[in-house]
Amino acid sequence: MRAAKILPLLFFIIFIAVPLAAKTEFKSNKAITNIKADYLKFNSKKKKTLFYGNVVLTQPAITLKADSIISYENNKIVEAYGKVYYNNSRDSVEATGKEAEYWQDTQYIVLKGDAYIKIIKDTLTIKADRIDFYTKKSIAKFYDNVRISKKELSATCGYAVYSDTGKKFVLYDSPVVIRNSDRFASDTIIVYINSKEVEMLGNVHGKLYQTKPKSGVSKK
C-alpha cells in the first residue's frame, strides 16, 4: 500500500454508516459487522441509535473501538466519542483520537483531539489536534500542532493540506522540516511523499550539519 492512499484508508467509519438497529450484528453482501457494547438505546421515532460503554465494532481485518458511538439515520451522521481507535490489519493502518464524526452523503470525516494516523508499511505517521478528510475531493486538512514523520524525515507546522493529486503535503504557519540533524524553515514547505522531495518557498533559512572525519592516525 502506498502512502498516496491515505485518504481511502482513513475512511475508517464508513462500515457503520448504514442505519443501525438494536442488534449485535448485521449482514451485508460484503461482510458481517459485529457490535459489542455495555449499553444500547434505540429511538425509532428520532431514528437514533446509541451504543455506550466499551463499544467494539469489527469486520474482517477491521476493528473500531470507542467509549460511545451514535448513529443518526435521518441525516446519515455517525459520531464516536472517547478513546476512538481504528485498526485495519489488512492495510496496516491505525488511527486514534478523542472524537470522530462522519457525514455519509458528503463523505466528510473529522478526527478531533490528539488525532493520530499511522501507516505501518510506509513508516508514515501524522499527528494534529484536528484532521478533516474530504474524501470526494481526495484532500485532507490538518490543524494545529501538526507533525509528519517518515523515517529520517519529519516536518512540523500549524496547518497542512494533503492532496492526492501530486501526492504531497503543503505546510503553512511556521513550517519546519528536519532530516537527520539538518533543519530548515520557510514561509511554505511542500513535501512529496513518494519521491521524498522537499520544496521551500519564501524566507528560507536553516542549518546543515556535516559529519566531521575522525581525527588521529589509524594503526596497522
What is the tens place of the pLDDT at every residue in 124-150? Answer: 899 999 999 887 888 889 999 999 998
Q: Are 144 and 128 in contact (CB under 8 A)?
A: yes
Write out pLDDT tens, residues 144-188.
999 999 888 899 999 999 988 888 999 999 999 998 889 999 999
**Confidence at residue 27, expressed as pLDDT on a 0 to 100 scale:** 46
96 near 72, Cβ under 8 Å?
no
Residues facing residue 2 across a β-bridge = none
**150 near 196, Cβ under 8 Å?**
yes
C-alpha cell at 187: 514561509
pLDDT value of position 5:
39
Task: Residues 3-149: name the CATH superfamily.
Answer: Lipopolysaccharide (LPS) transport protein A like domain (2.60.450.10)
List b or e across 128-145, with b for residues whose CB sees 16 or more CB atoms inside 10 angstroms: bbbbbbebeeeebbbbee
Longest Cα separation, the chain = 88
8 Å CB contact between 117 and 94: yes
Which pTM value belongs to this model? 0.75
Helix (H) or strand (E) holding 27: strand 25-27
User: Which parts of the chain register pLDDT below 70?
Assistant: 1-31, 210-220
Q: For Cα atoms 56, 115, 133, give the angle at the middle one, nearest 5 degrees.
A: 90
Burial of 149 (0-12, 13-18, 19+ CB in 10 A): middle
Q: What whole-number distance in Å separates Cα of residue 141 and Cα of residue 17?
A: 22
* Residue 46 one-letter amino acid: K
DSSP type of residue 3? G
Task: State the CB neighbour count (10 A cutoff) for residue 39.
Answer: 11
The pLDDT assigned to 21 comes to: 32
- State residue 1's pLDDT score: 37
